[in-house]
Amino acid sequence: MKKTIKALKFSAALILITSSFIACDKDFTNIDSDVISEDNVNFKKGQENLNILAYSKKLKSLQINGLNSNVLGVFHDPAFGTTTSSIVAQIVPTTYNPDFGDNPVIDSVVLKIPYYNRAITDSTYTISDSLYGSGEIKLSIFKNDYFLRSFNPGNITQSQRYFSKGDKEINATDNFVLNGSSTINFDEHKSETILEIPNFTPSAKRIKLYKFDDEGEIADTEYLTPALREKLDPTFWKTTILDKEGSTELSSANSFANYFRGLYFKAEAISPETGSAILINMQSSNANIVIYYSKDSTVEGERTQSTYTFNFKGNILNPMINDFSIPLEDGNSTDGDEKVFIKGSEGSLGIVELFKSEAELETFKKTYRKTDESGEYIKDRNGEFILKRLINDAQLIITEDENIEVGENEDFHKYDRLYVYDVKNNIPIVDYSVDPLENTQVPFNSKILHLGQRITNEDSGTSKYKIRLTEHLINVLKRDSTNNKIGLCLSTNVNYITNSRILNGEDDINAVPASSLITPRGTVLYGTNVSSTDENKKMKLEVYFTESKLNE
């Protein structure tokens, strides 16, 4: 991926200062969130904390197909417990009606799925950005015999959605998925074993391939970036693919999808509270299964080499099994929670209501909007409300629970990012859109004006997040934008803003950011209903404003 950092479209001065005002004018009409100089005798600056409400929201039955990346493995979160993530994926031939030639013989069959990686030097890489844990797991790949539909039979214009069922309600070992009308157990639909790795650990080492000449000497060396790359049993692929030449099974996409229904990558823990999970890129053009084979040449007595390739462009599901060590429940939506639990996969969201009631919202508007003699709000020629108090900055201040379990890794949460969104419309907050700092190569450094990075005070050991909501509040005040609930989740990639639906979701919470599904980590944050001893850690919305002294 190319690194794209948008140029900052700020003016020559980062903070614009209005040079003149109409005499005795108390209105703020065109200056939006610009900061007025503290030395200006006509204006004063102030700060207040708005009354907000924060609580946890338990998640279940989330859409697990259509993701841009997938998690494979076993991840143990010291604070929340273990999540085991497996994958069910269709494979798709790159060509149909193949002609394998005369006397085809398979030389090898190679599976390759790249890991997300970064180059450290010309010969070394890191996968730390996408690797969770470091322990071994058991990885098995089976032939899947369950047909994955592409369209919903109840509505053929809608793609089929598959939803998670990681609650261990039926059993704690099999991978279950919901399709909206029934429960699917993929362990009951597995057949031949394609590959089994008893002790699997993702490696950051580059892959070295040798090319040999006719005399068997090394003629060239090729290097590949880190990937899950394994050789598969040629006998299975000869019987299943090469021997089907000329049949209807290999004649079209529909026929093949019904014949070969996919692969089931099953992850299993070797021992309790150990393992590792890796974020893999099955959508990559380099993710494939390649059959390398030879066939008779047109030159008598000679053989030619050829390949037949499958990619993973079909349906991909990411079922999971959650073995949580703490109960995740819906929080107190009336009084707020003391602690807000954020857990990826099929875990928990944080919900923030910026005003605890409509009455408080109305009080906020009256404090910041200008009114006429009858108390009605005044609008400008563009239909926007005129403000008597200008918001310079508004930040949601969030403190992390300093007692959260991190195991032996003190940096466990160091690179966490919080993503916030409008839970009613399932879209980013407006401050996300106006944040010019976008980094597509390193998402950790993207959108840092709006979604501030985690900051730790070295003296106190307390970690905080600052989420900028300035434009969101200005929109509420000036344009009467709806003040919807805000969702909080962890994200490994804040650039990825696609949503995953919730099966039987509620009116105001019917989807979650897909990035939270592929982020297995969790965290615990202080909420708004804290004890007096933790008052300084309470989640709060700080608003900095400027207003005319003539309003006094």
Return the bridge partners of 5, or none.
439
Nearest to 477 by CA among 333, 380, 356, 372: 380
Judged by DSSP in three states, 332 sits in coil
Indicate the pLDDT class of residue 298, thresholds 50, 70 and 90.
confident
Domain co-membership, 261 together with 351:
no
For residues 86 and 153, state if they share a domain: yes
Rounded Cα distance, 538 and 49, in Å: 11
The domain total for the chain is: 2
Burial (CB count within 10 angstroms: exposed 0-12, middle 13-18, buried 19+), residue 118: middle
User: Alpha carbon of 101 to those of 109, 242, 246, 298: distances in Å?
Assistant: 18, 10, 11, 10
Would you say how long the chain is, in residues? Answer: 552
* Cα(336)–Cα(320) distance, integer angstroms: 30
Write out pLDDT tens, residues 309-356. 999 999 999 999 999 999 999 999 999 999 999 999 999 999 999 998
Residue 208 has pLDDT above 70, yes or no: yes
**Residue range of the domain that includes 141:** 70-318
3-state secondary structure of 352: strand
Residue 218 lies in a domain: yes
Whether residues 144 and 113 share a domain: the answer is yes
Same domain? For 164 and 52 the reply is no
- Mean model confidence pLDDT for the chain: 90
Same domain membership, residue 145 and residue 92: yes
State how beta strands 499-501 and 389-399 pair: unpaired
Could you tell me if residue 312 is inside a domain? yes
Q: Cα Rg for the chain, rounded, in angstroms?
A: 28
Residue 4 pLDDT grade (very low, low, confident, very high; cuts 50, 70, 90): very low
Shared domain for 165 and 197, answered yes or no, is yes
Which pLDDT score is estimated for 40? 58
Do 302 and 417 belong to one domain?
A: no
- Determine, yes or no, domain membership for 118: yes
Residues 498 and 388 reside in one and the same domain? yes
What is the rounded average pLDDT of the residues 235-246? 97
- Give the per-residue pLDDT at 551: 63
Distance of alpha carbon 500 from its chain centroid, rounded? 10
Q: Are 382 and 372 in contact (CB under 8 A)?
A: no
Q: Which of 257, 142, 139 is nearest to 190 (CA)?
A: 142
Listed residues 318, 338, 364: the one ending a domain? 318
Please tell me the predicted confidence (pLDDT) of residue 156: 80
Q: Is the pLDDT of residue 5 over 60?
A: no
Phi and psi based region of residue 297 (left: phi greater than 0; alpha: psi -120 to 50; beta: remaining): beta
39-to-133, 181, 392, 544 alpha-carbon distances in Å:
54, 66, 16, 16
| Residues 162-179: tens digit of each pLDDT | 999 999 999 999 999 999
Paired sense of beta strands 218-224 and 43-50, if any: unpaired
> What is the CA 103 to chain-centroid distance, rounded?
48
Mean pLDDT of 517-530: 96
Domain boundary, last residue among 318, 335, 360: 318
Residues 399 and 487 in one domain: yes
pLDDT digits (tens, 9 = 90+) for 352-384: 999 989 999 999 999 999 999 999 999 999 999
CA angle in degrees (0–180, nearest 5) for 5-68-129 = 60
User: Which residue has 């021992």 as its token pair?
Assistant: 271
Same domain, 277 and 395: no
What is the maximal distance between C-alpha atoms in the chain? 101
Cβ-contact 547, 44 below 8 angstroms: yes
Whether 344 and 298 map to the same domain: the answer is no
pLDDT band at 2 (very low <50, low <70, confident <90, very high): very low
- Say what the pTM is: 0.88
Residue 362 CA to residue 531 CA, distance in Å, equals 28
The pLDDT of residue 358 is: 92
Rounded CA separation 323/275 (Å) = 14
Sorted by sequence, the CB contacts under 8 Å of residue 295 that are 6+ apart come out as: 100, 101, 102, 103, 104, 105, 303, 304, 306
Share of the chain above pLDDT 90, in %: 80
Output the pLDDT for position 213: 72
Sign of the Cα torsion 129, 132, 133, 138 reads negative
Q: Are residues 332 and 309 in the same domain?
A: no
Q: Which of 318, 351, 378 is the last residue of a domain?
A: 318
What pLDDT is stored for residue 392 in this prediction?
A: 97
